[in-house]
Structure 1
Amino acid sequence: MASKLCFALEVRKLLASGLMAAMILCLPSAAPRAADITRGSVTGQATAKGYDHPNQYLHIRPVPIAPNMEPVISHPAQDQQARQKLAALEKRFGKKPNILIFLLDDVGWLDPGFNGGGEAVGNPTPVMDRLAHGGLVLTSAYSTPSCSPTRATIHTGQTPLHHGLLRPPMYGEAGGLDGAATFPMALQKLGYVTQGVGKWHMGENQGSLPQNVGYDDFYGFLSVSDAYTEWRDQYFNPEIALSPGRTAAMQKMPFNHNNVHCTQSDKAKCVDVYEVNLTTIKNLDQDWAAYSEKFIRKMAGSKQPFFLYHATRAAHFDNYPNDVYAGKSPARTVYSDALVEVDDILGRLVKALEETGQLENTLIFFTSDNGPECEVPPHGRTPFRGCKGSSWEGGVRVPTFAYWKGVIVPRRSDGLFDLADLFNTAISLAGAPGAQAAKYVPKTHYIDGIDQASFLLADQGQSNRRSRIYTMNQFLSGIRIDEFKFNTVVQLEQGIFQRGYTGGFSGAMVTSTGGVAMINLYTDPKEDVSVGIRHIPVDVLLEAEGNRYREVLKKYPPVTKIGFGQN
């Protein structure tokens, strides 16, 4: 006990003196041999040898690769295996691999069958399950707390603190990707055809339009599902829908009310295709699926690889099921019906890839933009604490898998994966691995993502990410390394209101924890017991990692393009 307290006190002295880097640097680059360690217990000298497990890096120092990039855990052997696979594929197909990101909206970790939901919660997901079981299921994949910040994080490889979209813009509010460096822009330079389909919600000003941030073509809507429907519905919002004057005012709100088509031929605007209303919204996901299918089939004979970003409308409230899918889920809720529909749509896209001979040269990455929205039922499910709008695990740990026929070995991994990593990983697959991603951004741009190509592709690949930085609104809200999470800012779900789900975006207080609010996510996934005092050696290592990232924020200061009132 004395030695443990001594260690903790010495590290705290370093932290207090501002020398947190010194503590990190003294970590070994590899674990010492078990035989060299004297370990004991309250009953005397330990005789059990103990085990080191994959994807656990608390004791390992990450490797810096560029001044404006996160350090990585180095895995030379798996990097080599991944590159060998990619080289063989390029020789076989004559081009770099295709990339398909299939992004759901407000779908919880427990909704798909591959994470224990599916039939058990009244919405079978056979296509998701088949692909997940044939690929790599990422059990610790992370979004941000809400949709626009996550979508911007995917595209920029940055946390919201760096890209500046701290929350979703609503009803034409200013703020978006304008001026950002995105990975579709990098892919265009690397010879890719880039196609966006579905929900955008990353700004409607000219500089933020899809064709101006890396897309050759975009077909979808620019705002968010409820912006087109809630004020029209006399059951949900009679105070607007049953007032002609108020309805007229909503129709004049400065957001695009239509499904649109955006192309490189017109940088100034997108072409309106049809209005999104209570009738047309029922067919949006089917319309978008047909557009993506057509694109996939068109690209079959192309000498260029493609990137397809397919972002579904489902299952963001309010859900208005397509007539074919109304009541098709055993749960018969509009939410579960929407999940059944998008499962079928995923199957259609995979079938198009298979029928055109492109499936074996395409990475399919499936995920959700945040955890379940819990303020408007029916909604998704999560086994963790919290929901959309918070950085509790329920708000940001999302159902995720990577599938690549014949390339990714079927397995599950709890290695850390942040959706910011898609930025680096896509650029890596396109031929610019590791530190080369920095060539595609300004030097003032900090890349929070990490190249995870070898994690996905190597047969027993491990995560290249040591830690996961949590953000919420304008705050750095937590740090995770291995199974341990240190919360610095949290949402108090019942801080204001006492009835219903009072977290999310309404009725929640955000507060600094102040003390040692550390959780072991393996033993306490509900995040309701602190273990910080019992495990001080772990606590100080997580605090040091938080201080390291605060130094990053000093060199690359936070940006606010759109935020909350306190900004």
Structure 2
Amino acid sequence: MKKAVNYIVFISLFLILGAFKSNAQNFNRAVKTDENFEASIPHPEQSKEVNQKLSDLEKKSGKKPNIVWIIIDDLGYGEPGAYGGGAAIGAATPEMDKLAAEGLKLTSCYSQQTCTPTRSAILTGRLPVRTGLTRPILAGDKISQNPWADEISLPKILSDHGYYTLLTGKWHIGEGEGMRPHDVGFDEYYGFYPAQKEITQGIDPRRFPDLVLNEELLKAFETIRPANHLTHGFKDGTTKELEEIKTLDDMGRADHKLADFTISKIKELSGSNKPFFIEHCFMKVHADNFDNPDYPGLSTAKYPYKNAVAEVDMHIGRIVKALETAGELENTFIFVTSDNGPQMDAWPDGGYTPFRGAKGTTFEGGVRVPGIAYWKGMITPGRKSDDVFDLMDLFGTSLRLAGISQNKLPDDRYYDFIDQSSFLFHDNGKGNRESVYFWWGTELMAIRMREYKEHIKVIIPQAPHMWIDYATVQDVGLAPWLFNLYIDPKEEMPVGHRRNAWLASLGAQLKAHAATFKKYPPKNIGL
């Protein structure tokens, strides 16, 4: 790992010439107030107004606000109608569209390039390369240490400060004892540890005949297969295995059952003076998708993926309705997003993005995702913004909503989140984040700053749609690939030496980012 970090620093230094230092500083609006926290763009008046707004609400409601994250698995940027998809591409999304119309639609919202990194980042406020959770822990993996042992998760912090914390649905950040949701800070967990495909590959003879129909191989697989039970866990360690996924119909019904549980908990928790944090993580629309047999062919397109999009949208509407019925809607911050771009390797069981790339890459198609912020009475309806937002910023924003100072976090590590509460909740809020950094495993790949995106490494597929299974990580060559996303959102025409003066400025940011790893080295958990 030390070698990888030294290499990052070397590449970044190579990109920068000292003569450009003053230009880089002028270009960068962010201000660093603490050595171990990411710099942010100051908006003091905006922050002051939002602080008052939140204070007034707390006096009215008598408690801190609830926080509900709704995470869809592998949903493409272009799937919701509010983002150009919906009925036009075979699966209407009226519930997401309504939230976008009545809230804030973010058009430059960023995840990590795949699921485990994103899910770990939003709960720790730290890049996956820092925590070691750089990819899914898959069947047969042997890790050298529990990555969660010394991490301070958001649900733990919130639980310690009076919130009831619940995760419903997909986890995918470690199945072993000590790494489960209820081991790392959630008061309660109800869901499945792995992704859908990892559960169904042992029971689906159509897609995996060489495994399911081969008695010898299936027996070997049983020794390493991931958990295939619906699991109910509690903070005291109590863990119950409920129904096992035995058929594809069972998998098809899973998201309805999960939504039912979240709805029941909202009803239960609304009767308390204790605020709640719920992270509802859908199993869909991650391949392999199977129709719920109780309502097959839910979308106009009729394909399983499109039916999954329509079903997820339906359940989002049910969850929001439950908050309204419980009288909690005006005291609940809701954020709807995806953990990464569409998994094109599974096409046609995969989604749509208008951008280059897909899940597994750091091109826009892999990391730019829908981001819908909704809070009745707190977020002005109809807002849209292209200011950059990293899903890690949900960590900092949630701390602010709970009234927890980031200075209470341990100072022996680096934090990558930004508190974006003043951006989200001000009527005309401006973003507080200047830069987003993109990694693939332990490789620093790219940066976005304002409308510019600079790559120092890229992922190139060797066949159509093969952005994971048949792709290579490559150096960019003679110069970084610099794109202006406002004139070239598909990242096809580099403009570094022809049309742009900011090549060195973005390089300076990469250098400064790489330098944080020198004092705060990353963990290597053996992945």
CA distance in structure 2 between the partners assigned to 1:552 and 1:463 by the alignment = 23
After superposition, the Cα gap between the structure-2 partners of 1:174 and 1:197, relative to the gap in structure 1 and judged at 3 Å, is farther
| Aligned amino acid, residue 460 of structure 1 | N
Q: Does 1:249 align with 2:249?
A: no
TM-score by length of 2: 0.93
Matched, 1:211 2:174: no
* Structure-1 separation of matches of 2:497 and 2:241: 58
Pick 1 or 2: higher relative contact order, CA cutoff 8 A, min separation 6: 2
Aligned counterparts of 1:110 and 1:327: Cα–Cα separation in 2: 21
Alpha-carbon distance in structure 1 between the residues aligned to 2:308 and 2:486: 31
Post-superposition offset of 1:255: 2.7
Q: Within 5 Å, give how 1:31-110 maps onto structure 2.
A: 59-110=27-78
Q: What SS does the corresponding residue of 1:399 show, helix, strand or coil? A: strand
Asked if structure 1 preserves the Cα contact closer than 8 Å seen for 2:249 and 2:293, the reply is: no
Change (3 A) 1:150 1:14: closer
Q: 1:424 aligns with which of 396, 404, 408?
A: 396
Is 1:355 the equivalent of 2:325? yes
Match of 1:530 among 489, 494, 497: 494
C-alpha deviation, 1:334, in angstroms: 0.3
Deviations 1:397-441 (A, max 9, x none): 001110000110121100000011111111111002xxx21413x
Structure-2 change in CA distance of 1:304 and 1:246 (3 Å): same
Q: Deviations over 1:18-60 (max 9, x none)?
A: x8766644x2xxxxxxxxxxxxxxxxxxxxxxxxxxxxxxx34
1:318 aligns with 2:288: yes
Amino acid corresponding to residue 273 of structure 1 in structure 2? L
Question: Which one is further off, 245-254 or 479-488?
Answer: 245-254
Q: Does 1:240 align with 2:204?
A: no
**Whole-angstrom distance in 1 between the partners of 2:88 and 2:417:** 34
Contact 1:485 1:518 in 2 (8 A): yes
Measured after TM superposition, the shift of residue 231 of structure 1 is 3.0
Whether the aligned pair in 2 keeps the contact of 1:232 and 1:247 (CA below 8 Å) is: no
CA distance in 2, matches of 1:200, 1:260: 11
Whole-Å Cα distance in 1 between the matches of residues 110 and 353 of structure 2? 13
2:440: which partner in 1?
472
Residue 536 of structure 1 deviates from its aligned partner by 4.7
Q: Does 1:187 align with 2:130?
A: no
1:64 aligned counterpart, secondary structure: coil
> Match of 1:205, SS?
coil
- Cα distance, 1:14–1:398 mapped onto 2, change above 3 Å: closer
CA distance in 2 between partners of 1:172 and 1:413 (Å) = 43
State the SS of the aligned residue for 1:271. Answer: strand
Is this contact kept in 2: 1:68–1:438, CA < 8 A?
A: no
Equivalent residues in 2 for 1:345-494 (5 A)?
345-378=315-348, 379-410=350-381, 411-432=383-404, 436-440=405-409, 442-494=410-462
- Aligned residue for 2:488, secondary structure, equals coil
Name 1:160's counterpart in structure 2. 128
Matched, 1:511 2:474: yes
Shift of 1:14: 11
SS in 1 for 2:501: helix
Give 1:265 deviation, angstroms: 2.7
CA contact (8 A) 2:245 2:251 kept: yes
Q: Aligned to 2:277, what secondary structure does the other structure show?
A: strand
Q: Secondary structure at the match of 2:202?
A: helix
Bigger CA radius of gyration = 1
SS of 1:129's equivalent in the other structure is: helix
Cross-structure match for 1:276: 245
- Whether contact under 8 Å (2:65, 2:401) holds in the other structure is yes
Alignment of 1:557 with 2:521, yes or no, is yes
TM-superposed CA distance for 1:561, in Å, is 2.5
Q: Is the 8 A contact 2:123 2:155 kept in 1?
A: yes
Partner of 2:200: 229
The aligned residue for residue 235 of structure 2 is 264
Q: Are the equivalent residues in 2 in contact too, given 1:21–1:548 (CA < 8 A)? A: no
Q: Is the 8 A contact 1:199 1:223 kept in 2?
A: yes
Structure 1 residue aligned with 2:92? 124
Native 8 Å contact 1:141 1:418 kept in 2: yes
Gaps of 5+ in 2: 1-12
**How far apart are the structure 2 equivalents of 1:353 and 1:101?**
13
Q: 1: CA distance between counterparts of 2:84 and 2:140? A: 38
Q: Find the counterpart in structure 2 of residue 542 from structure 1.
A: 506
Residues 1:115 and 2:79 are matched in the alignment: no
Does the Cα contact within 8 Å between 1:66 and 1:438 map onto a contact in 2?
no
Q: Could you say what secondary structure the match of 1:307 adopts?
A: strand
Q: Deviations over 1:483-509 (max 9, x none)?
A: 111001100112xxx4x4222x21111
CA distance in 2, matches of 1:88, 1:506: 52
**Residue in 2 that maps onto 1:199:** 170
- Show CA shifts across 1:309-365 (max 9, x none): 000000011111102332120000000101111111111111111011100000000
Counting only pairs closer than 5 Å after superposition, residues 263-342 of structure 1 correspond to structure 2 as: 263-266=234-237, 270-277=239-246, 278-342=248-312
8 Å CA contact 1:483–1:522 kept in 2: the answer is yes
The amino acid across from 1:373 in the alignment is: Q
Whether the 8 Å CA contact 1:492–1:509 is kept in 2: the answer is yes
Aligned AA for 1:272? E
Matching residue of 1:15:
16
> Does the C-alpha gap of structure 1 residues 480 and 72 become closer, same or farther in structure 2, counting only changes over 3 Å?
same
Counterparts in 2 of 1:295 and 1:562: CA distance versus 1, 3 Å: farther
What residue ranges of structure 1 are gaps of 5+ in the alignment? Answer: 1-11, 28-58
Distance 1:119 1:215 in 2: 37
Q: State which of 109, 123, 139 in structure 2 corresponds to 1:141.
A: 109
For the residues of structure 2 that align with 1:295 and 1:489, how far apart are their CA atoms?
A: 45
Q: What TM-score, normalized by structure 1, do the two folds share? A: 0.87
Q: Secondary structure at the match of 1:522?
A: coil
CA shift, 1:254, in A, is 5.2
Give the Cα separation in 1 of the matches to 2:211 and 2:389.
42
Counterpart contact for 2:17–2:504, Cα < 8 Å:
no
* RMSD between superposed Cα atoms in Å: 1.7
3-state DSSP class of the match of 1:530?
coil
Which SS does the other structure have where 2:270 is aligned?
Answer: helix
- CA drift of 1:181 comes to 1.1
User: Percent identity, aligned pairs only?
Assistant: 40
Equivalent-residue separation in structure 2 for 1:14 and 1:475 (angstroms): 16
The CA deviation at 1:280 is 1.6
Residues 232 and 178 of structure 1: is their aligned pair in 2 closer, same or farther, counting only changes over 3 Å?
farther
Alpha-carbon offset, residue 516 of structure 1: 3.0
Q: Is the 8 A contact 1:14 1:23 kept in 2?
A: no
Which letter maps to 2:474?
A: T
**Inter-CA distance 417–147: structure 2 relative to 1 (3 Å threshold):** same
Q: Partners in 2 of 1:490 and 1:522 — Cα distance? A: 20
Cα distance in 2 for partners of 1:133, 1:172 equals 45
Cα distance in 1 for residues equivalent to 2:32 and 2:253? 48
